[in-house]
Structure 1
């Protein structure tokens, strides 16, 4: 009788050990599956983010290779100008330094790449920075980006308000020679509305923290005509 009891006890111990092992295995596999699921979810989320943030935009055909700006001229030294159409300091820069940049483009010294960022949307009730930058993309399609950008600064609205309406943006375009029908349709359809976000994101990755920002041959310079000319001569 005693031997039978001992056998039952031994069998129970074995069953308990097997049960514990099965529970351990189930816990292990559950953890592995959960970890794999998290990794897959992260990869899917990153893919969606990249698609939405980096590839989910339409850029003007005239945009530079990385779709971050519009180039003027074909000189040997590249000058990158990052500006927001709602930025008062950018308007002042256009007034004071713009003619010098125009001269450098005209005499073949530089290739000027204008990057229309939209960092001041928060200072407009209608996301004016984005709308104006998108409209400049439409102007690029018509071959008058530079003229249109200058005209936008001439009629720059005050910060904190709604900014110019789409109708006003279209009127400015026709004033610099753009076709009212094709240009107007591009603006009204918001054809390039997603483009400024891409430009702004890439500017941030490049270390641009404010506007206007000027780079000559990849190096940041002071926002003055003399400093830019000196940097261009040194780089050339």
Structure 2
């Protein structure tokens, strides 16, 4: 006959083993859960880094070796003289190769409104990101007389295409600026060529884009068929000026990033360099960061008479503070 005390001990040992196994299983499950969480956190960190590069830094590209901080004042002056000596120059551009546009048209600024400078290259994916995220807001502000824009066209990535895409795309933009009096048509054209389903890749990812496709984007933007056809006729009359303006712009030290060189896209607000990376550092979307920098509430965008607090002369507000 079984001893009840021994049997109780056996039961107790069995229960203890079961409890230990359950504890080991629970520990293993916790460890697996922690590993999964760490993996998720790792993915989030990587995603944040990607966002910081793609949105904060906006795919920074060094323009040329001569755009480093080693560029001397004489280099800049020489590049400026070359720009001024180009035979065929666009009349609507200022002496620093900028096209000022506002609700008043080309070459005119709205008094008391901030001026935002945009330095862009047609093959630059970072420029496309800025355009897609910010330009709809910029256009609304411009149309309402709340903002002036200053457009600067660059071509330093032309050699990353097999058919001089940068030269052709922005020679056409300059032609439109010279022969179409509505700045919105130019802005629409830029949005069209920076669209995700249109902008070509670079180098081995580049797929040739003929002039007819660029012409089509201009017509879709509101440009007349005659002006669009002339803009992409192949004459490229502004390419020499475009190249000279590019070579001058990339050497201007006031446009250098913290790395000590020019990169695209570059934005200025009332002439002050505005670091796009600060948008991500502040944990903001680009539109929200920009509106905070100029001192305007989002519900005031496009409302005539509601002017940004920085006006036409103050520096942009520090959005990281």
Residues 63-102 of structure 1 aligned to structure 2 (within 5 Å):
63=93, 65-66=94-95, 68-73=97-102, 74-75=109-110, 76-102=113-139
**Pair 1:197 & 2:249 matched:** no
Q: Give TM-score scaled by structure 2 length.
A: 0.53
TM-score (norm 1): 0.70
Q: What's the CA shift string for 1:145-183, capped at 9, x where partnerless?
A: 112111111221111225421222112222223233343
Write the distance in 2 (CA, Å) between the matches of 1:142 and 1:228. Answer: 29
Equivalent-residue separation in structure 1 for 2:81 and 2:269 (angstroms) = 31
1:62 matched residue in structure 2: 92
- List alignment gaps of at least 5 residues for structure 2: 1-77, 103-108, 256-261, 277-285, 296-308, 312-321
1:57–1:151 CA distance, 2 compared to 1 (3 A): farther
Residue of structure 2 aligned with 1:218, choices 271, 277, 290 = 271
Counterpart check, 1:228 vs 2:290: yes
> Which residue number in structure 1 is paired with residue 180 of structure 2?
142
- Please list, as runs of the form range in 1=range in 2, the aligned pairs for 1:15-26 lying within 5 A after superposition: none
Residue 79 of structure 1: how far off its partner (Å)? 0.7
Q: 2:114–2:294: 8 Å Cα contact kept in structure 1?
A: yes
Q: Tell me, yes or no, if structure 1 residue 132 matches structure 2 residue 201.
A: no
- CA 225–180 in structure 1, closer or farther in 2 if over 3 Å, else same: same
Contact 2:120/2:154 (8 A) holds in 1: yes
Q: Deviations over 1:42-101 (max 9, x none)?
A: xxxxxx9877554225333332x2161322213321110001111111111111111221
- Indicate the RMSD between aligned Cα atoms, in angstroms: 2.4
Post-superposition offset of 1:129: 1.2
In structure 1, stretches of 5+ residues that fail to align are: 1-47
- The alpha-carbon distance between structure 1 residues 49 and 103, as it changes in their structure 2 partners (threshold 3 A), is closer
Q: Does 2:241 align with 1:183?
A: no
CA contact (8 A) 1:128 1:164 kept: yes
Q: Which has the higher helix share?
A: 1
Aligned to 2:24: none
Distance of aligned partners of 1:115 and 1:53 in 2 relative to their CA distance in 1, 3 Å threshold: closer
Counterpart in the other structure of 1:123: 160
For 2:38, the equivalent position in structure 1 comes to none
